[in-house]
Structure 1
């Protein structure tokens, strides 16, 4: 994990697109991703479209497949979960800087956790994530920015934290979002349009990514993205990426903390998610944390990496971590490497514990994502 942010990653996508539109992001920004220049661009994020998953089902995605040869492979970062990845995508920063460090995380000083995906009205998204987004910076540079997603995303905590900037247009299904995106792209001489689609991830969670249902949804996504490409102006580029991949973990490979006294011992709050836990200790001193690490390591063996907060910060799991972000990270971080997940029936809803497709950890199946691009047909 020490070099997780040394290569191209999700944080490079929007800065690369911004530069392709002629936006100057400042002298301190090092452009690691170079894309062909264009007057307009549409960026589509397909939730859960992991690179390895796409490669395994490439026969069902002819439009995407045509762009895969030579396309750069990206990493999502850690944890490989939507809330964190949206922060990385939107700000162009690693989680240690933007501060969205997990699905369920501690609110420092309040002795409680909150869900960064659903958000909590008691947490101000503009304080929790204070950095400008790339969309805001593009808007200030004179680019007309449009964000497209479900209506309830408009003004949500996660949207305000990770993807603020420009106008928001809501549309329910992918077909409608494609039409809205095409109109937005053509609405001005210099435009940046962002489109989000989450049904592939939802299908994978419920049925598993290896299911016929997931493949059928991939076919639908591929068909609609091909349609979007046809509808775009000739001077508009199209870029498609994702926030994470997924693994299928059988239900009989779930450990329940409620039934594991050794795992529950010393844990005050369970954060993170089944593939990527962040544990907050009753005794956050060195001896209490060390005892937790020992118990979890003994129970999970080579099925997981078990690290202290200090270790994951030093090893760069979250990139460079700002001081205000450090206490949000668990005292102990547990990242699954085998076909296993850990749930907590004391606090988790049964429908969440029963999801077949899961993600959040450090495996290539969960962290590897694509970046597929179709340059503008003319400048």
Structure 2
């Protein structure tokens, strides 16, 4: 039985070129990048090259990139770092109800520390209102944190509009771009964001590495203390091989980004058309336009998400019910709750399909056939 992986929004397989590059570094260099001898300088050279590549990928300067252990640390560094450094200007933070838990749980912790957080609502497509954001802004607002593209339903927020709105305000603008980086064209100056979080394992790079973009003017209080790595902003010996793997993954993502976008959008259309041909009742969560091309979230009335996931897995198809970080949780998706309310049936019957480099049209057709068969059986 062929196993079909359609959960690329959770994590992606490492690209062979990434693995090859990492092994090369691990075989030839073990120096500490902070050491001044030749072994250390070689390691530092790898990091400097990677930082340059990754900075260019978002239109940033090299000194604006802080390497982290991934998206969660980048989000936490942004929120706690800004909150502590700017608390003398105010203690109000704005985010949305549909953020990744790395942001939401950080905000909940900040509330316990005396900060006030406004959680913006979204409409049925998962998008915030710029008017509502503008009304939520206060004189003491110091940070606005709004994700670029949602990891569960794919909705892209009006990031450029938010950046423009905040130009006349003291609040800094952070965006969690973990799900969007590598598939969307991102330029930090064009978007007018001050901080941006990215993770390598979403773009066929290694797990355990990422970066936080921090605009030159922004002062962050560090979250880790020790050495003077990352210009004293993030202590700890750098993971050289993983950082080089991240660089290679970013290069690969940029090489065929537009082609991949078109392919993934076609996969969405094919899956939807095939399900319609099998006369299966379903609804789209989110929207096809203004959404990440590789994420498709569908509601299947009359089914149960747990039964769907188990049956699809038995058929060799890996999908999910939303964020991988809440796998095994009996709590309904906070994203779908924000979009449709606590009483909606969509909370218990929605599946996320997400595509990646190894996905084929044949797999999409097979997935539609198996999904239709399972839905028909479960509804009897």
Structure index of larger Rg: 2
Q: TM-score, normalised by structure 1?
A: 0.33
Which structure has more strand as a fraction of its residues? 1
Which structure has more helix as a fraction of its residues? 2
Q: Which has the higher contact order (CA 8 A, sep 6+)?
A: 1
